[in-house]
Amino acid sequence: MKTGDRFIQSWRIRLAARWIPQGARVLDIGCHQGEFFKWMDDKISPSVGVDPLCKETATLEGHQFFSASLQDCPPFESNSFDAIVLLATIEHIRDKTVIARETARLLRAGGRVIITAPSLMVDKILDILLSLRIVDGMSLEEHHGFTPDELIDIFTAVGFQLIKKQKFEMGLNNLYVFERL
């Protein structure tokens, strides 16, 4: 990753971290190499990350990482997480309804799903930044162009309540925080 990628990733992590309770058990879907857990350090309990791009299945400082998609890793028990984060991940997933249902199953009552999703303009901007070699971009061929506000209907339909919606990165990115009822 280039400096531009790291800067954008750090911004997302800092914003999402505000919504994670102290001592929470977290599932990071699209964890990359565990950057979110490194940022959270000892503020969270041992947690789990899944990502098909993760270099290997491993344990790091009490956190487990699976080099797999959520569907391909070992099954998690229902109600086993306090928070689930999808940072710059949901746009890579075709069937967002399946993810919404699975996060509802995995979260304890009152648990939160924290999602960042780019605006539709981002792909055009990324094309320019890539050509200037400012960012590498990650798995851009998987972007499945959707309107981020579609997430509201998808997640509320399976038992979530939207508690925060915010634009950031000069309106190019969106934060959604849903709480399981």
**Percentage with pLDDT > 90 across the chain:** 59
Q: Residue 161: what residue type?
A: Q
Task: Kindly state the tokens that stand for 92.
Answer: 């890579």
pLDDT, mean over the chain: 88
User: Could you read off the pLDDT of 68-105 as tens digits, one per residue?
Assistant: 888 888 789 999 999 999 999 998 888 899 999 999 99
**Percentage with pLDDT > 70 across the chain:** 88
**What are the two backbone dihedrals, phi and then psi, of residue 63, each rounded to the nearest 5 degrees?**
-95, 140
Note whether 144 and 95 are within 8 A (CB): no
Which of 30-34, 42-46, 143-147 ranks highest by mean pLDDT? 42-46
Q: Please give the order of strands across the beta sheet that includes 63-66.
A: 58-60, 63-66, 48-50, 26-29, 81-87, 107-118, 173-180, 160-168
- pTM to 2 decimal places: 0.88
Integer Cα distance of 115 and 136 in angstroms? 22
pLDDT classification of 55: cutoffs 50, 70, 90: confident
Q: What is the pLDDT of residue 44?
A: 97
Asked whether the predicted pLDDT for residue 176 surpasses 80, the reply is: yes
User: Could you read off the pLDDT of 113-145 as tens digits, one per residue?
Assistant: 999 998 877 666 666 766 777 766 554 454 456
Of 118 and 174, which is predicted with more confidence? 174
CATH number of 3-180: 3.40.50.150
Domain boundaries, the chain: 3-180
User: Could you read off the pLDDT of 2-14 as tens digits, one per residue?
Assistant: 677 788 889 999 9
